Amino acid sequence: MGITYNENNKTFHLKALDTSYVMQIVKDGYLAHLYWGKKLRNVNAEELLVLRGRTSFSANPEDSDKVFSLDTLPQEYPAYGNTDFRTPAYQLQLENGTTITDLRYEEHRIFKGKPKLQGLPATYTESDDEAESLEIVLYDKVIGLKVYLLYTVLEKLNVITRSVYLKNEGENKLKLLRALSMSVDFIREDFDFLHLNGSWARERHIIREKLTPGIHSIESRRGSSSHEHNPFIALLSQDCTEDKGEAYGLSLVYSGNFLAQAEINMYKSTRVNIGINPFDFAWLLEPGEGFQTPEVVMVYSSEGIGSMSRTYHKLYRTRLCRGKYRDEARPVLINNWEGTYFDFNEEKLLDIAKEGKKLGIELFVLDDGWFGKRNSDNCSLGDWVVDKNKLPKGLANLGKQLEAINMKFGLWFEPEMVSPDSDLYRSHPDWCLHVPDRTRSTARTQLILDLSREDVCEYIIKSISDILRNAPISYVKWDMNRNMTEVGSALLPADRQRETAHRYMLGLYKVMDKLTTDFQDVLFEGCSGGGGRFDPGILYYMPQIWTSDDSDAVERLKIQYGTSIVYPASTMGAHVSAVPNHQVGRITSLKMRGDVAMSGNFGYELDLTRFSEEEKEEVKVQVAKYKELRTLVQFGDMYRLISPFEDTKNETSWMYVSEDKSESFVAYFRILAEADAPIRKLRLKGLDSNKDYIVDGIDGVFGGDELMYSGITIPFLFGDYQSVVWKIKVLDKA
């Protein structure tokens, strides 16, 4: 049983693989948080929840009980103002202007399986036997607010998911001002705060800081999860490393504005919560209406950050990503963007594709510039009509010619955007996000279509569907190249304008769900100027995302390493691009660029026709090698060996191990050369210590224990920007 309820002491005990999560109904129906951590056999509620009277500055709901105060009670879904002075999980405004609420336990139910969330992406199960769920109903009898707390335990993983549904069952309007997806109170403060920070072309760098009293938070107010912060945080024990110590991960399955924070109060307890950002958010609940929050995936690890990551990887790879390509090896592709930008014709595209075919590449992707009058980024977004000057015979003919050489055909779209210089905008200037009498700010000379509108969503669905039905397209790159400003909708009334950003996300999810359902044989890849919307919400619809517009091999070490804290290699698009690199100007070897890109969904983004015969031969070898490795990389267990974020920042290493531990792929990268360098060994992880292995390029047979505890010698590498990879297999004793 994953979830049990003890009627005698009114405790709920949720058990995952090696995790316990315990709650208790206390006093007159308050829901208290008792424990989240390593699995417990039994629960002594009296010891887990110890209360103590404080000064008069921690007020008491009941004057007769000086010990009980919500200001010191660890809670599951706290409010503000009713003796709790900490940051609340939710807040409402009543018609009389007040914001005080008081939720008490009403009932609960425990059931097999995991329900879907209305209009939102979430993790799922393929059988009710995989999970057990708990729904706890809290009620404020004064205003008729009913809150449903949903917990799901995935019994074979250290995973508990949470979400909240708030419903107005009263007679008056309620306005939601804050509706976070979860909150947990720890009666300790000794945590480090880990999050993923960056910018365009510098996404998901690892930041780790010691928590101190006060609030430590990350957020997005950009209308997307953003390049700057990822909707994920972890609280770590201060001794936590890759392989030991406690890690508490919180990952929000959402692609819009979010807030994640940890607060240490005066009594040295820590409150952590995450959800939709309350900044510039409000949601009107008419009587009978409800609001669903996004899901939070909570992962506990007692064996360090690496174990937490591998739990997220397995869950997101198998029970968040969906469709045909979830379990299918991804094709090796060639994208024309950095090879041609907007300057191409059909002949040039076919020349690149034919060269790629000779080298073993399987998919040709036509990027931006094929539609409208799109010769630069200042026009035509929204006009999804083929530019006959570049492609006189259309996309269907190009697709047929690619089929004739046995190449699959992929296409770039930016469906959420509109150019002021476009037929669509001239016909429907009210279809973009805007506020009356205010400037319509542009970025990349484009505006954002208002996906909170049904007519806009239907236009996008029809436009993209018409293209996909009339050409043999097997891959779509879905881009989004700016963040929201002047966030308003022409169709929403004044008291619902602050709903626009979230309604946009609901519209986006509806559009993505429709298109990915109607075109199940198409591999969709998300993109937002690279990794500006690399989040679990997008992965529910699209099983891979372009990791970053920065394809420099050295920059990618940090980007891909940081991304792997939460996301598996099967979700990361990784390409070899030309040098000097178009983002930073660095010149790295084709070998290193290939070795880095092989740690994701492999491809090229350059003009292969400009390569020398020697370079083409090297590409041919890389493609063949990746085809041998891709199942292992995309679906194996990842172990991080050397972090590029450590003080030296000169080395990086990671490896992938098959589920049965019979084979492994190890990659090592060194940035700058070191004179008279010492002999170094690389200690591996994740192998079977009782098995014998052979290592490509090294004579002899090695025990798994030897490879992990003694290691393999890093060969002498001359010059800057060097890499070495090893393929390791179990010795076949037959």
Is position 367 annotated in a ligand binding site?
A: yes
Cβ neighbors of 401 (< 8 A, separation 6 or more) are 350
Label the pairing between strands 473-478 and 447-448. Answer: unpaired
The answer on whether 479 is annotated among ligand-binding residues is yes
| Residue 412 annotated in ligand binding | no
Set 549, 552, 595, 637: catalytic member: 549
Q: Any known ligand binding at 431? A: no
Cα separation of 218 and 701, whole Å?
48
Per DSSP, the residues of 291-313 read EEPPPEEEEEESBHHHHHHHHHH
Strand partners, 245: 303
* 481 known ligand binder: yes
Burial call 573-586: b when 16+ CB within 10 Å, e when fewer: bbbbbbbebbbeee
Q: Which residues, at least 6 apart from 95, have a Cβ–Cβ distance to it below 8 Å?
A: 172, 173
Rounded to 10°, the helix 346-358/613-635 angle is: 70
Torsion-angle region of 529 (φ positive above 0: left; ψ -120 to 50: alpha; else: beta):
left
CA distance 197 to 199: 7
| CA atoms of 546 and 525, how far apart (whole Å) | 7
Instruction: Tell whether residue 444 is among the known ligand binding residues.
Output: yes
Starting from the edge strand earliest in sequence, which strands make up the sheet with 692-695, in order? 637-642, 651-657, 663-670, 722-730, 692-695, 698-703
Strand partners, 576: 604
Cα radius of gyration (the chain): 27
SS3 string, 450-471, reads CCCCHHHHHHHHHHHHHHHHCC
Marked catalytic residue, from 84, 140, 479, 595:
479
* CB half-sphere exposure, 213, CA atoms < 13 A: 4
Judge contact between 273 and 254, C-beta under 8 A.
no
> What is the C-alpha to C-alpha distance for residues 610 and 633, in angstroms, rounded to an integer?
29
CA atoms within 13 A on the CB side of 540: 25
List the structure tokens of 526.
Answer: 């998300």
Give the Cα separation of 30 and 725 in Å (integer).
Answer: 56
The annotation status of 688 as a binding-site residue, yes or no, is no
Q: Tell me if 430 is assigned to a ligand binding site.
A: no
Neighbours of 354 (CB within 10 A): 16
63 is catalytic: no
Residue 677 forms beta bridges with which residues? Answer: none
Catalytic (active site) residue 549: yes
What sign has the CA pseudo-torsion 276, 281, 282, 283? negative
CA 196 to chain centre: 11
Residue 493 buriedness (CB in 10 A; 0-12 / 13-18 / 19+): exposed
Q: Is 397 annotated as a binding residue?
A: no
Binding residues: 200, 367-368, 444, 477-481, 527, 549
Catalytic residues: 479, 549
Binding residues for substrate: 200, 367-368, 444, 477-481, 527, 549
